[in-house]
Amino acid sequence: MRLRKGPPDFILFITTLLLIGIGLVMVFSSSAVTSNIWYDDAYFYFKRQLIWALIGLVCMLVVMKINYLRIRDLAIPLMIFALLCLILVVTPLGIEAKGATRSLGVGFLRFSPSELAKVAMVLFLAKTMEVNIEHIKSFTKGILPYLILIALVCGLIMLQPDLGTSFAIAGTAFFMLLAAGARWSHLGLIAVSGAGLVAAAIAVAPYRMERFIAFLDPWKYPTDEGFQTIQSLYALGSGGLFGMGLGRSRQKFFYLPEQHTDFIFAILGEELGFLGAFLVICLFVLFAWRGFRIAINAPDTFGSLLATGLTIMIVFQAAINIGVVSGALPVTGITLPFISYGGSSLLFTMMGVGFLLNISRYSTYR
């Protein structure tokens, strides 16, 4: 019966820990060569990722203990804070790296507002959709306010610029609208106009256009725009069924750029082969199953929407990343949750899992 708090979803917990464990190993393996040369310390990235993982674990366990209904009141302040950070990051306060301004902070402490924005957005949508659930079928009352918000958040992120994260946030919001019961006709309209906007974003920026053309046939541009995809495919290809063996990647020797962040999955495929890559995909599928199960069995609308949003946020991003790495999608610069190197991404993702685990404690089906 209801209201007797049970244990959190064990399978989701284990899946998450496995993914993070694989991530730590792969961050070390993929970054050791470059960090040894750049920082004279093969463990440079690994140590940082390990620290973030430990912080993330503590946060996850703390969040797991807090009744998720209590964070409902945080939704609006957190969204405002996220928007402020997104604005700050495009002012001179933002820290520039590789042609884009994506993080805030001082010295060693840096964080990416867009990672915060992802979680804040899911929380905010869950809270407001709960209140608005009876208007969700109306366009002006139900859908339009969300479209404006999505446009605002994605617009700010596009200023960094970061098409990948914008797309991930918009996609998550789209699926949350779907889960909340929006009309198919409205959703279709959003999908079409969204696709139009992405197309426009690609057409407007020459580098995106080049990437897109390169995506269609990377072998035509093997030295510039197609380079990354080709190197990624080399990595996956040489991995074969069983892989080259852990630590034995060749592509990580300065062939494949972003080998410990956006393209870590390629190195994983190279070292652990199809089986290793397949295992990771299976873990994400398992994660999706448990996440949606928690959403379905959540004791209230808010919990259900929150669980849906968090699960989609993580799984959707994983799907895009794996799509990019395997050449099925154009290069967008998006990380693989739990596995890619990146402190704030890991931290916020793990907090999201903490919420999921908390919601699972209140479901009746076990």
List of residues contacting other proteins (CB under 8 A): 1-3, 67, 69-70, 72, 130-131, 133-134, 296-302, 304, 364-365
Q: How far is the CB of 16 from other proteins (least distance, A)?
A: 24
Which residue lies nearer to other proteins by CB, 70 or 98?
Answer: 70
Which residue lies nearer to other proteins by CB, 74 or 209?
Answer: 74
Q: How far is the CB of 14 from other proteins (least distance, A)?
A: 24
* Helices 206-216 and 184-204, axial angle in degrees (round to 10): 110
Distance of CA 113 to the CA centre of its chain: 13
Cβ partners under 8 Å of residue 30, min gap 6: 249, 252, 259, 260, 264, 267, 268
Q: How far is the CB of 2 from other proteins (least distance, A)?
A: 5
* Helices 343-360 and 113-132, axial angle in degrees (round to 10): 30
Q: How far is the CB of 127 from other proteins (least distance, A)?
A: 10
Q: How far is the CB of 365 from other proteins (least distance, A)?
A: 7
Q: How far is the CB of 66 from other proteins (least distance, A)?
A: 12
Q: How far is the CB of 133 from other proteins (least distance, A)?
A: 6
CA distances (Å), origin 165, targets 19, 245, 253, 328: 21, 32, 27, 18
Three-state DSSP at 97 gives: strand
Which residue lies nearer to other proteins by CB, 2 or 98?
Answer: 2
Q: How far is the CB of 75 from other proteins (least distance, A)?
A: 14
Distance of CA 207 to the CA centre of its chain: 23
**Paired tokens of 139:** 């366009």
Which residue lies nearer to other proteins by CB, 170 or 176?
Answer: 176
**Paired tokens of 236:** 């996956």
- Compute the distance between CA of residue 207 and CA of residue 209 in angstroms, rounded to an integer: 5
Which residue lies nearer to other proteins by CB, 114 or 297?
Answer: 297
Which residue lies nearer to other proteins by CB, 129 or 277?
Answer: 129
Which residue lies nearer to other proteins by CB, 63 or 117?
Answer: 63
- Report the first-to-last Cα separation within the chain, whole angstroms: 11
Which residue lies nearer to other proteins by CB, 298 or 347?
Answer: 298
Q: How far is the CB of 295 from other proteins (least distance, A)?
A: 9
CA-nearest of 42, 38, 64, 69 to 305 is: 69
CA distances (Å), origin 21, targets 28, 54, 74: 11, 11, 31
Which helix (H) or strand (E) segment is 152 a member of?
A: helix 144-158
CA distances (Å), origin 252, targets 47, 223, 230, 265: 18, 17, 14, 12
Which residue lies nearer to other proteins by CB, 243 or 309?
Answer: 309
- Compute the distance between CA of residue 201 and CA of residue 282 in angstroms, rounded to an integer: 33
Which helix (H) or strand (E) segment is 111 a member of?
A: strand 109-111
